[in-house]
Amino acid sequence: MPVQTYKTKHGNGEKRGKSAGTAHEHKTKHANGGTRANGRTAGGVSDLPLANWKEYGDILTDSLWILGNRDKSGNHNGAYHGNFVPQIPNQLIRRYTAAGGVVLDGFLGSGTTMIESRRLGRSCIGVELLPEIAKAAKKAAAGELFNAAAKNNIFSEVIIGDSAAKTAAQKTAALLAKHKREFLDLIILHPPYHDIIKFSDNKKDLSNTSTVGDFIRKFGDVVENFSGMLRPKHYLSLVIGDKYSESEWVPLGFRLMEETLRRDKTLSLKSIVVKNMINNRAKRNAENLWRYRALAGGFYVFRHEYIMLFQKRAK
Ligand X SMILES: C[S@@+](CC[C@H](N)C(=O)[O-])C[C@H]1O[C@@H](n2cnc3c(N)ncnc32)[C@H](O)[C@@H]1O
Sites of contact with ligand X (CB under 6 A): 80, 82-84, 107, 109-110, 112, 127-130, 133, 162-164, 190-192, 199, 204-207
Whose Cβ is closer to ligand X: residue 20's or residue 189's?
189
Contacts of 273 (CB under 8 A, 6+ apart): 60, 63, 64, 65, 306, 307, 308, 309
Backbone angles phi, psi at 140, to 5 degrees: -60, -40
**Please, what is the minimum distance in Å from the beta carbon of residue 224 to ligand X?**
13
What's the rounded Cα separation, in Å, for the pair 287 and 135? Answer: 35
Q: Are 164 and 129 in contact (CB under 8 A)?
A: no
Whose Cβ is closer to ligand X: residue 128's or residue 182's?
128
Q: Are 112 and 86 in contact (CB under 8 A)?
A: yes
**Please, what is the minimum distance in Å from the beta carbon of residue 50 to ligand X?**
30
DSSP 100: T
Whose Cβ is closer to ligand X: residue 56's or residue 219's?
219
Whose Cβ is closer to ligand X: residue 101's or residue 109's?
109
**Please, what is the minimum distance in Å from the beta carbon of residue 309 to ligand X?**
16
b/e burial code for range 1-27 (CB count within 10 A of at least 16 → b): eebeebebeeeeeeebbeebbeebbbe
**Please, what is the minimum distance in Å from the beta carbon of residue 168 to ligand X?**
7
Whose Cβ is closer to ligand X: residue 110's or residue 227's?
110
**Please, what is the minimum distance in Å from the beta carbon of residue 34 to ligand X?**
29
Residue closest to ligand X (Cβ): 109
Q: Which residues pair with 304 in a beta bridge?
A: 276
